[in-house]
Amino acid sequence: MAGLDEERILGHEVVCRLPQEKGYFALNNEISCGQCTYCQEQLTSHCLNLQELGVNQDGGYAQKIRAPRKSLHPFELDNPALGVLIEPLSCAVRGAGRILAATNLLSVSRPKTLIIGGGLSGVLISYLLTHSPNFDGEIYLYDITKASLPWVDRLGIQRVEVPEPDRAHLIVECSGSPDGLATALRLVRKAGIVCIYGVPKQGISLPVSPHELFMREITVISSFAGATDQTMEAAIAYIKRDEKFFEQLLGRMIPLEKLPTELTAWSPQPGTRTVVEMNA
């Protein structure tokens, strides 16, 4: 992949097959050392010696990859292609857990919640919040696209064209865009919470001063850490229980040779993952 510090084969949301074994496996692409202080605290995504297949080691677009057996999670689904959603849903399980923990700081039990970004991250966070017995908030979605997002109706979420300031107690920024983050910090109520879930670009500063954060008493949290054994298994269980919902999140199915065109000339269908069939 051009643009990186060194050449790298990408691909970290991967469905694997093993030689001479039946079935499918979801890859946890984060390989931790198990020895550093973060690993000892079960924060394996923050491992000081972390190796990430598809990030700093060759990933799923290679003809073959090597990974520890414990990084492969077997699953049985009617459509094995749904396995590409296991890793991102696993990350969302972690994110939703941090969001739910933070809501204890709010002064209301049914927080008005705004999700910014209707891509896959926004879908998965919305799904987990609506299916959590520990969350009873009203969820709204804001996305700059005018395209239809069928999953919004399936989850009973209201879509807003122009979000109003000083209404949302909790805002989850899922777009990763500078404008999305600025919007979240501008709109959130005093004593509210902003979760940075979409991956922001390096070099971007928070568009709000420490003084304003202090005076408005805004809590800013983030969720970077990705997959663990526990979150991977939780993700598999969610998909297995509701395959019909997750089916709609699978976008175009393309062969590997069409990937460069897909990356440079086409945008994914909103809220979906394009699936690359390696053997097509």
| Sequence-ordered list of residues with C-beta below 8 angstroms from that of 265, at least 6 positions apart, any chain | none
DSSP calls for the chain: -TTSSS------S-EE--TT--SEEEE--EE--S-SHHHHTT-GGG-TT-EEBTTTB--TTSS-----GGGEEEE--SSGGGGGGHHHHHHHHHHHHHHHHHGGGSS-SS-EEEEE--SHHHHHHHHHHHT-TT---EEEEE-S--S--HHHHHTTPEE-SSPPTT--SEEEE-S--HHHHHHHHHHSPTT-EEEE-S-PPTTPPPSS-HHHHHHHT-EEEE------HHHHHHHHHHHHHTHHHHHTTEEEEEEGGGHHHHHHH-PPPTT-EEEEETT-
**pLDDT at residue 2, rounded to an integer:** 43
Q: Is the pLDDT of residue 128 over 80?
A: yes
Q: How far is CA 248 from CA 148, 205, 272, in A?
A: 13, 35, 7
Q: Please give the structure tokens belonging to residue 5.
A: 């510090």
215-241: pLDDT as tens digits: 999 999 999 978 999 999 999 999 999
Q: Is the pLDDT of residue 4 over 60?
A: no
Classify domain 90-222 by CATH architecture: 3-Layer(aba) Sandwich (3.40)
Output 51 or 255, whichever has higher pLDDT: 51
Pairing of strands 24-27, 72-75: antiparallel
130-145: pLDDT as tens digits: 999 999 999 999 999 8
**pLDDT at residue 267, rounded to an integer:** 64
188-218: pLDDT as tens digits: 999 999 999 999 999 999 999 999 999 999 9
**Same topology for domains 15-89+226-277 and 90-222, yes or no?**
no
pTM: predicted TM-score of the whole model, two decimal places: 0.92
Domain ranges of the chain: 15-89+226-277, 90-222
Q: If pLDDT is split at 50, 70 and 90, which confidence band does 166 have?
A: very high
**pLDDT at residue 100, rounded to an integer:** 98
Q: How far is CA 128 from CA 3, 64, 92, in A?
A: 34, 33, 8
User: Nearest CA to 103 among 138, 152, 127, 143?
Assistant: 138
| CATH class label, 15-89+226-277 | alpha beta
**pLDDT at residue 44, rounded to an integer:** 94
**pLDDT at residue 55, rounded to an integer:** 80
What's the rounded mean pLDDT across residues 58-79? Answer: 87
Phi and psi (nearest 5°) for 108? Answer: -125, 155
Whole-number average pLDDT of the chain: 91
